[in-house]
Amino acid sequence: MRLESAKALKQQLLEQVVDPISERTATVRQEGARALDYSDAMPGTEGDMAFQGIGAQPLSGVPRVQRSLALGVAPHGREYRLAIRLQRVALRASPMVEHLNRQAKGEVDVRLVGRIDKRARRPRTASRRKPGASTRIAGVWFQQNSRPLLIGVSIGHVDVTAGTLGAFVKRGGVTCVLSNNHVLAAEDQASAGDVILQRAAFDGGRAPKDAVATLVSWVRLKPRGTNLVDAALGAIKDGVGHDARRLRELVNGKDRTLTGLGPELVDAGDSVFKIGRTTGPTMGRVTAFDLDNVVVNYEVGNLRFDGQMEIEGVGTKPFSDGGDSGSLIVNSAMKAVGLLFAGSDTGGRNGAGLTYANPIHRVLKDVKATLLF
């Protein structure tokens, strides 16, 4: 189908099917399992209990936002399909997905993505994949101190394990580092003026010697509403240098230069690149865009994000892993297109997981800043 048709269909089905079900599941603490029966939310179906996959736990611990499915747009040759991203295995053969398939007349791209987590380095295990190499790699430049500061290096709030320095921006005449809220603002638990370290604490950074910035602004995360970005800024301290353009070893071990802002619409199928604190320079391809109802696991609970990009790694490796949160994503013209914030450990052609990113134009708008390059 044409792009306009795919986007219109996505919005229609989101409003008619997915959003009503999401609203019902949000009442589970008060109404119990009956709140999860969505049979009358979809014309022509007999109901489905797939959303009742909740293990035994105190009712107070049940997430307000339940993982279900996301809807977006995916490529299909020179045209597009409705992207359906399942975050629960039980939904694969559910009446809900069958209904969406019928409404799209079979023009769907269905993928099981499973649980999606924020991409900050976790205190215990950085991935749910089989244990392998440590996320601390001896000698790699992106986990070490970098002066001047560079795109892609380890950074974080003094009380956060580790994330990635995404880019440099100007806000109100102040030069700042850009990364995620959960990297620089500790999921809204931080305060303005808090210390930001480079390298991050998990990589050996300590205050005051590794303090490079102070937290100045962040977009608050909404536990019940819809989030569009996960972003925060830190004002660079006097005397700390930075290189806003260098993309070190980005493509085949060669440096590239950030050339500006890319288009607002990043087409599915486009090649993209990033440098992250954990996986370093990687290449991927956009597999879907304009994804709504992407539910991401945070320390504060499940949060919903709309309007997101989805990326899979090229080759056998993932595009990102825990610790790569905040990475700037650029297209083949070396123009900024996204800010990495979350990922799954399953999905993608290589089975190595999928990555999710906020569109960079939306990020810059919400943090009220301009990109430096």
Distance CA(218)–CA(222), nearest Å, equals 12
pLDDT in 10s for each residue of the chain, 373 residues: 999 999 999 999 999 998 887 776 666 555 554 444 444 445 444 444 445 455 565 655 567 788 999 999 998 888 999 999 999 998 988 999 999 999 999 999 999 999 999 997 655 443 444 333 345 566 799 999 999 999 999 999 999 999 999 999 999 999 999 999 999 999 999 999 999 999 999 999 999 999 999 999 999 999 989 999 999 999 999 999 999 999 999 999 999 999 999 999 887 778 999 999 999 999 999 999 999 999 999 999 999 999 999 999 999 999 999 999 999 999 999 999 999 999 998 888 899 999 999 999 999 999 999 999 9
d(CA 156, CA 176): 14
Asked whether residue 23 is assigned to any structural domain, the reply reads: yes
Helix (H) or strand (E) holding 284: strand 280-292
For residues 210 and 267, state if they share a domain: no
Q: Provide the number of structural domains found in the chain.
A: 3
**Which of left, alpha, beta for 173 (phi over 0: left; psi -120 to 50: alpha)?**
left
Q: CA–CA separation, 87 vs 152, rounded Å?
A: 29
- Contact (CB, 8 A) for 196 and 212: yes
Query: The CATH number of the domain where 299 resides is what?
Result: 2.40.10.10
Q: Say if 326 falls within a structural domain.
A: yes
- Do 146 and 229 have their domain in common? yes
Q: Do 68 and 173 have their domain in common?
A: no
Residues linked to residue 284 through DSSP beta bridges, in sequence order: 272, 313
User: Both tokens of residue 209?
Assistant: 């010697």
Whether residues 13 and 94 share a domain: the answer is yes
* Whether residue 90 sits in one domain with residue 21: yes
Please state, as a whole number, how many other Cβ atoms lie within 10 Å of the Cβ of residue 140.
13
User: Is residue 78 assigned to a domain?
Assistant: yes
Cα–Cα distance measured from residue 123 to residue 201, given in angstroms and rounded to the nearest whole number: 11
Reduced to 3 states, what is the DSSP secondary structure of residue 149? strand
The whole domain housing 184 covers 142-243
